[in-house]
Amino acid sequence: MKEHPVKKTDGNPTAWTEASVCLDCFEDPALSEFVKANASSPTCDFCGASADEDIAVAVTEIAAHIEGCLRSEYDDAANGVSWDGREGGWQGATTWDTAELLAEVGLELPNDRSYKLRRALLNALPSLDWSEREPYGYNHDEFFQYSWDRFCETIKHRSRFFFSRESRRR
């Protein structure tokens, strides 16, 4: 059996662990594919699965991957959201702690009845307040809705007919 080196992540240092998790512990196909591609242990410390070949990846590796995925859409609230302690904290944007964000993005752990895997992931992920990457700008849905509304406005009221403006000179 391979030994997993203890890896430091940007998360809670007390969570550095050698525990491994298999692809069956995740419902998300992309996370399962990551586990399959990076498997380095023949046993899962969370659901108890084992095989002759490697089927599980270190929790710190999957947590680092999850963090990378989260950071493509979310960021530390301190990097873009206004703070006012007298007004109750973060102002004008939705924020989540790490546990809330995992629920928000729909992380499903079908074999985690005891919440052991969820706790390990939360310990390995950064403990911070998250917000959307551009908290005061348009999100994807709002951008496309605004673009569609502008298109409809133009077609209905400005450029309803398309006549060629070619010169008739020969």
Q: What does the domain layout of the chain look like in residue ranges?
A: 13-157
Residue labelled with tokens 């550095």: 16
Q: Is the pTM for the entire model greater than 0.85?
A: no
Res 62: pLDDT: 96
DSSP-derived secondary structure letter, 50: B
Per-residue model confidence as pLDDT tens for the chain (170 residues): 333 333 344 555 444 467 999 999 999 999 999 999 999 999 999 999 999 999 999 999 999 999 999 999 999 999 989 888 888 888 988 999 999 999 999 999 999 999 999 999 999 999 999 998 888 777 778 888 989 999 888 888 877 666 656 655 55
Predicted pLDDT at 161: 62
- Residue 25 neighbours by CB under 8 Å, 6+ apart: 44, 46, 47, 109, 110, 111, 112, 117
